[in-house]
Amino acid sequence: IATRNQESDRIMSIELDTVDEQAIEQAVALVAEKWGTIHVLVNAAANFTVGSIEDISADAWSHVFNVNVRGYALMIKHIVPLLKKQRSGSIIQFGSISGV
């Protein structure tokens, strides 16, 4: 995607920390500024922790939840105003047993 992003003015991929709401706001603003519209949001961020439930810290679980659940919700929160304005668009969510 990054290669296609460089070769085309029709594709934009943005790498960001989905736990950072300010980064999300900036990314959405960048898309809105460049095109004024968005056709597809692909939420594909993921984090997981390996180990026994007895051994995984509460902080580690919080990070997994923040990336896999909260991050997706924040992306949607900031994209929805554009989708409502244009009355179209798609959101694709990837999930795993680690996130839900």
Is residue 78 very low, low, confident or very high in pLDDT (cuts 50, 70, 90)?
Answer: very high
Section 22-44 average pLDDT:
90
pLDDT of residue 7: 61
Report the amino acid identity of residue 91.
Answer: I
Indicate whether 92 pLDDT > 80.
Answer: yes
Q: What is the CA radius of gyration of the chain?
A: 15
CATH of range 2-93; options 3.40.50.300, 3.30.230.10, 1.10.10.10, 3.40.50.720: 3.40.50.720
CA nearest neighbour of 30 among 85, 100, 82, 90: 82
pLDDT of residue 25: 95
In whole angstroms, give the CA distance from residue 61 to residue 2: 30
Tokens at 39, concatenated: 């056709």
Locate the domains of the chain by residue range.
2-93
Average pLDDT over all residues of the chain:
85
Section 43-70 average pLDDT:
88
Distance of CA 93 to the CA centre of its chain: 9
